[in-house]
Amino acid sequence: MKIRSVVVVLGLVLAGCQATRVKSSDSQPPAQVQAGSVVRRLEPQQIRTQATVVADPRHVSRVSSTEAQSVLAVNVRVGDAVSKGQLLVELAQDPQVRAAAQQAQIQLVAARRTFLREESLVRGGVEPRINADQARTLYELATTQAAAAKAQLSRMMANTQLRAPTSGAVIAVSAFMGQVTSPGADLVDIADPRYLQARLQIEPEDLARLHPGQRVTLQLPGATQSFEARLTRVSATLNPQTQLGEADATLLPGHPNLGFGRFLTAKVTVGQEDTLLVPAGALVHRDDGDKVYLAAGSKAQEVQVQRGARFGSWIAVRGTLSPGSRVVTTGAYELSQGDPIVVTSASGSAR
């Protein structure tokens, strides 16, 4: 009987302790916190990539052979500066064309000598006029043949001594000694260095976001100043070697002195994105991720977020937040979901 009484007494004591703890939890004083607002920021959506300085194809001169000839000498390399008329490539000449021109010239000299002699004999009354007329006909024929042979020699010389049609920089050389050229195939490309483009390397998923006319911001590696270009071409196919797309942008006036092949960094703005910012003090890091605590009522509401870039005293976040929502900025680390709070002052006003 005594044992039963002791058990009853202990049960009443334990129940009283539990009731005391519950009552104490219910009467927990609210945490005094400061709160700030979630603000909205319009961030530019940008494609960032690498670019290379290339020639504007509208200002490139291409030197080629009109016939199949063997290459005897290549006098330039990529990167060389050349002047108009400078000898670039020498091709083998047809000896028969030169021999024919020489023979035609010999025949012309002989025909002229005969004609002059016959004219002199006719004037002296030694021979009839018909002889001089025949000599004149042969002389005129020899003149025509010599002119044709000389023209053919000139064409051969022009086609075998390939010269620069304009001044500029050599950007491509496909000719090499011993090569037999194909008619019309480019052997040397010369570009005007005043007209430049930037060739951008584009990830395949970004190609659809680009179009001619978009503005490009370019920068030399390590430089602080940037300069502008405008997209003129977006490739519809991928480069088989890099598996990247390509886009060309014409450099606008005001760019620095650049040479072909220089590497650049490039940014293309393709739109705007809504970004939510919270005061830096509102972000709380827990083992299960980053959080903020909404101060929408008398109790803290925990919201999971993803941290983004920092903008001064603000941090970009992603989560189920709305612009204008109030978040705890001071005292957030001491809070848990559902803790009672009272906002004593505001901080982190919108900018």
Q: Which CATH class is domain 64-91+161-191?
A: mainly beta
Beta strand 31-37 pairing with 341-346? parallel
How confident is the model over 212-235, as a mean pLDDT?
94
Q: Are 38 and 305 in contact (CB under 8 A)?
A: no
274 pLDDT more than 50: yes
Place of tokens 């430089």: 223
Using one digit for the tens of pLDDT, what is the confidence trace for 150-198?
887 677 666 788 999 999 999 999 999 999 888 888 999 999 998 999 9
Which two tokens mark 106?
């010999």
Structure tokens at 238: 């991928």
Out of 3.40.50.620, 2.40.420.20, 2.40.10.220, 3.20.20.60, select the CATH number for domain 29-42+274-346. Answer: 2.40.420.20
Report the pLDDT value the prediction gives residue 139, as an integer from 0 to 100. Answer: 86
Write the burial class of residue 135 (CB in 10 Å: 0-12 exposed, 13-18 middle, 19+ buried): buried
- Quote the tokens at residue 80: 């060389």
pLDDT recorded at residue 4: 52
Measured CA to CA, the distance from residue 196 to residue 259 in angstroms comes to 9
* Per-residue model confidence as pLDDT tens digits over 94-148: 667 677 778 888 888 988 998 888 888 888 888 888 888 888 999 899 899 888 8
Residue 7 is predicted with a pLDDT of: 43
Q: Which class would CATH give 95-160?
A: mainly alpha
pTM of the full predicted structure? Answer: 0.56
Homologous superfamily assigned to 47-56+194-273:
Efflux pump adaptor protein, beta barrel domain (2.40.30.170)
- Of the candidates 46, 101, 67, which has an alpha carbon nearest to the alpha carbon of residue 272? 46
Give the domain ranges of the chain: 29-42+274-346, 47-56+194-273, 64-91+161-191, 95-160
